[in-house]
Structures are given as C-alpha cells and as structure tokens.
Structure 1
C-alpha cells in the first residue's frame, strides 16, 4: 500500500469536513438545534466534523514523513491504521450522536491513530 492513499484520504476528509461543517453551520444560529449547544447530539456532530480535519492533518504529516525519510516500503502498518482512524473517528462520532451506544466503539479509531503514530515513530527511529 502506497502512502498516496493517505493523501487521498486526507483531502477527502477535508472535503467532507467542509461539506458537513457547512450543512451543520446552516443551523448553528438556532440555540435549540439538536437539543442545544451542550447537548450530546450537537457535541458529537461537532466532534465528527472537526475529526475529519484533525485526522486529515495526521495523514498529511504521515505522507510528508514517508516522503522525507524514504520509508514507504516499511510504512504499511501506520498507513492502514491512519486510514482506519480517518474513516472510523468521524463515523463513530456521527453514529454516537444519534445512537448513543456507538460511543463504546471510540477506542477503535483512537487506538488506531495512537498505534499509527507509535509505529511510525518506531519505523523512523530504527530506519
């Protein structure tokens, strides 16, 4: 797997974050929208929207690291883990907003990103 997929994932994530942020932004003026600013639904949809951007930046940093250090052949594991995070975090945020029991799955994308960062650091250090 090439790091190129992480670059695509990053830009797709930013596009989706922008689109969903615009859609949500249409309603933000209504203080009671989705139960009010502090409600679970509204917090989770905000987190989902922002997670598209946050994990996109991690994927871009990953691509830059791979290209700078020349470790592409060794970086399959962090690549896959960052893709899991890019898909899983916003998905679980939005699902949790409407079906609260999905919150128990947050460990999957969170650990994927953490393990991706740790494995990337390991590979860079020992290469």
Structure 2
C-alpha cells in the first residue's frame, strides 16, 4: 500500500472512530451532570478526544492529497508519515486518558510533537519552484 493510500485509509478510520465515539457519548449528553457537567475537565477532554479523531483524520487526508500532488524526498515522507500516524493514535487516547485520570495531561507533548513532526518535514522539503 502506498503512503498516500495508507493515510487515506487512516483518515477514514479516524472519521469512523470519531463518529462512533460521538454516538457513544451522545447517549449521555442529555444528562446535565454527565461527566461532571458541561464545563468539567472530564467532559471537555471527552469532547476533545472525540473531535481530535476528526481533526487529525483530516490532517491525514491532507497529507495523502499533498503526496498525490507534490513530490518529496522519501526520507521526509517517512518522517511525516510516522508523525501523523502517531498523532492520530495518541491525541484521542491522551484526551480520553486525561478524562479518566488528570495526571495523563502531562503526556500531551507526545501527540503535539507528533503532529509537528508530520508538518515540519513537508514544509522543509516543499519544492521552491
């Protein structure tokens, strides 16, 4: 499977997980006190985890689209690919873990650095002509 096809698949899988997690949480949203209430950290982290599936899934779509339009050195593509894969796995997971136990918030640099490691190689290797 090519890198662009892999990231299209990952993007669609992330969309499915975003929809499924949203549907699951939607079963409880009618309760004002669910997950500590609307403004509670627990509920905010659950919502962020759900939305991060969509957001990082979109990054994977954009990466696949970019690879189909622009040629980059393979080493840069590999680094960016790994970064986006780690990001799509760790951002929602970290959000959900933080909703469960607050100290997991200290792990947020992992998905953030993963996103950055996906974006920066593309910008560095962007063709100048």
Is the contact between residue 46 and residue 95 of structure 2 (CA under 8 Å) also seen in structure 1? yes
Is the contact between residue 3 and residue 64 of structure 2 (CA under 8 Å) also seen in structure 1? no
Is the contact between residue 12 and residue 57 of structure 2 (CA under 8 Å) also seen in structure 1? yes
Which residue of the partner structure matches residue 92 of structure 2? 90
Instruction: Give me the CA root mean square deviation.
Output: 1.6
1:12-91 to 2 correspondence within 5 Å?
12-71=13-72, 73-74=74-75, 75-91=77-93
Find the aligned partners of 1:121 and 1:70 in 2 and give their Cα distance. 12
Once the two structures are overlaid, the 10-residue window that deviates more, 47-56 or 116-125, is 116-125
Stretches of structure 2 lacking an aligned partner (at least 5 in a row) = none
Find the aligned partners of 2:8 and 2:23 in 1 and give their Cα distance. 23
Q: Please report the TM-score for the alignment, with normalisation by the length of structure 1.
A: 0.93
Pairwise CA distance, 1:126? 5.6
> Aligned in 2, Cα 1:61/1:67: closer, same or farther, shift over 3 Å?
same
Is the contact between residue 8 and residue 64 of structure 2 (CA under 8 Å) also seen in structure 1? yes
Q: In the TM superposition, what whole-angstrom CA distance separates every residue of 1:55-107 from its partner, at most 9, and x where no partner exists?
A: 01111000000110133734111010000000000000001100111110000
- In the alignment, structure 1 residue 117 sits paired with structure 2 residue 123: no
1:93-112 to 2 correspondence within 5 Å?
93-112=95-114
Stretches of structure 1 lacking an aligned partner (at least 5 in a row) = none
Is the contact between residue 73 and residue 125 of structure 2 (CA under 8 Å) also seen in structure 1? no
Find the aligned partners of 2:40 and 2:73 in 1 and give their Cα distance. 43
